[in-house]
Amino acid sequence: MSKVFVFGHQNPDTDAIASSYAFAYLAKKAYKMDAEVVALGTPNEETSFALKSFGVEAPRVITSALAEGVDTVILTDHNEFQQSISDIADVTIFGVVDHHRVANFETANPLFMRVEPVGSASSIVYRMYKENNLEVPKEIAGLLLSGLISDTLLLKSPTTHVTDHKVAEELAALAQVNLEEYGMSLLKAGTNLTSKSEAELIDIDAKTFELNGNPVRVAQVNTVDIAEVLERQEAIEAAIMEAIAKEGYSDFVLMITDIVNSNSEILAIGSNMDKVEAAFNFTLENNHAFLAGAVSRKKQVVPQLTESFGN
Please give the annotated binding residues, written as ranges. Answer: 9, 13, 15, 77, 99, 151
Contacts of 83 (CB under 8 A, 6+ apart): 9, 10, 207, 208
The Cα–Cα gap between 16 and 155 comes to: 17
Q: How far is CA 146 from the centre of its chain?
A: 12
**Helix and strand numbers, DSSP H then E, in the chain:** 12, 10
Contacts of 198 (CB under 8 A, 6+ apart): 232, 235, 236, 238, 239
Known binding-site residues for Mn(2+) equal 9, 13, 15, 77, 99, 151
The Cα–Cα gap between 62 and 71 comes to: 13
Strand (E) or helix (H) holding 305: helix 302-310
Q: What end-to-end distance do the CA atoms of the chain give, in Å?
A: 46
In a 10 Å sphere around its CB, with 0-12 CB exposed, 13-18 middle and 19+ buried, how is residue 196 labelled? Answer: middle
Contacts of 183 (CB under 8 A, 6+ apart): 149, 154
Sign of CA dihedral 114, 115, 118, 123: positive
